[in-house]
Amino acid sequence: MFKIGPDFFFGGAKRTPKGELGPFPTDRSIYDSQPSSGLRITWFGHSSSLVEIDGVRILIDPIWEQRASPVQWSGPKRFFQPTLALEQLPAIDAVLISHDHFDHLGAESVARLALCQNDVRWITPLGVGSLLAAEGVRADRITELDWTGTTTVGPLTVTALPARHFSGRSLFHRFQTLWASFALIGPRNRVYYGADSGEWDGFREIGERFGPFDLTMLEIGASNPLWADIHMGPEGAVRSFRALGGQGLLMPIHWGLFDLALHQWTQPIESVFSVQGLKLWSPAPGVPSEVVPGIEIRSEWWR
């Protein structure tokens, strides 16, 4: 408490924006056409993204809840409203859930998707399928993967890979399900979704076996030196990106939507923006943006 007390009790005003951000509306008509590069991503905030890769649409860790919490009357509240209603999303081929924490798996979001896109595939690490089934997802649409397990969605190969994190939706439900990162390998494009992870020496092998990646999605926010083993932070994301091969573009995720740590809310993105020679791909929330090799996006919406 002596280490975190001052930031916890006196730093709250800096951990959230001064006013509500946005709105950041998504132009749904963009989804009527395919990206010429074969890769387009809509970042909805935090780790939620719609990845359109080589003709396949993958929705990653969708959180449309007002709070990243087991209840909606308390807990970390969104800084800005959803850019598009879940029911207005285009037809999705698969939903990817990296682990069962409330900022990655929202029960209400799962239930709504299960109703409006009943035939969609759900891909999760081991044990998470029962949580999805409890919210109305059809059991025959759920694929659970162990680390290094693979499945295909059309021409896309999805491989679950290790991450240095943990799981649990309560103090009494720790380590009952698996967590994972994922490699998305298509005929033209390769994406690595790091999900939640501390730094670890396996990143180099992942890059060698599954790269080079056109886009690497790594967490930069909700970190602190005291829990670096499970959240790498912005400096760790830069080192991990380089360990993964350092090719293509780095997309910062896991920031900008919820107050989940003790740092100032813009500190993670300011930190990675300041790194010289780093190829960043950081669009504004809700904007479907095409990934073009070597072309950076450095939106400063957060300023």
Quick one: fold of 25-282? Metallo-beta-lactamase; Chain A (3.60.15)
- Listed in sequence order, the residues at least 6 apart from 90 whose beta carbon sits closer than 8 Å to its beta carbon are 28, 31, 57
Q: Report CA-CA distances (Å) from 19 to 78, 114, 240.
A: 12, 33, 33
- Beta pairing partners, 252: 218
What distance in Å separates the CA atoms of residue 229 and residue 231, rounded to the nearest whole number?
A: 6
217, 193 contact by CB (below 8 A): yes
C-alpha distances in Å from residue 211, one per residue of 114, 130, 220: 33, 32, 21
Q: What is the pLDDT of residue 8?
A: 67
pTM assigned to the model:
0.95
Do 250 and 280 contact (CB within 8 A), yes or no? Answer: yes
Average pLDDT in the 167-179 region? 91
Q: Is 30 left (phi over 0), alpha (psi -120 to 50) or beta?
A: alpha
* Per-residue pLDDT, 124: 98
Say if residue 4's pLDDT is above 80: no
How high does pLDDT run on average in the chain?
A: 95
Domain boundaries, the chain: 25-282
The answer to whether 106 and 65 have CB atoms below 8 angstroms apart is: yes
Do 23 and 81 meet the contact criterion of CB atoms below 8 Å apart?
yes
Share of the chain above pLDDT 90, in %: 88
Residues 41, 251 contacting (CB under 8 angstroms): yes
Ordered alpha helix ranges (H), the chain: 5-10, 107-116, 129-134, 203-210, 233-243, 267-273
Please enumerate in sequence order all residues whose Cβ is within 8 A of that of 233, keeping only pairs 6 or more positions apart, or say none: 220, 223, 224, 225, 268
Beta-bridge mates of residue 129: none
The pair phi, psi for residue 103, each rounded to 5°, is -90, 5
Res. 10: pLDDT tops 80: no
CA distances from 154 to 131, 242, 254 (A): 25, 30, 28
Residue 20 has a pLDDT of 84
Is residue 131's pLDDT more than 90?
Answer: yes
On the question of pLDDT at 12 being above 80, the answer is: no
Tell me, what's the pLDDT at 184? 98
Task: Render pLDDT for 255-272 as a digit per residue (tens, 0 to 9).
Answer: 999 999 989 999 999 999
User: What would the pLDDT profile of 27-79 be if each residue is shown by its tens digit?
Assistant: 999 999 999 999 999 999 999 999 999 999 999 999 999 999 988 888 899 99
Taking the C-alpha atoms of residue 96 and residue 184, their distance in angstroms, rounded to an integer, is: 11
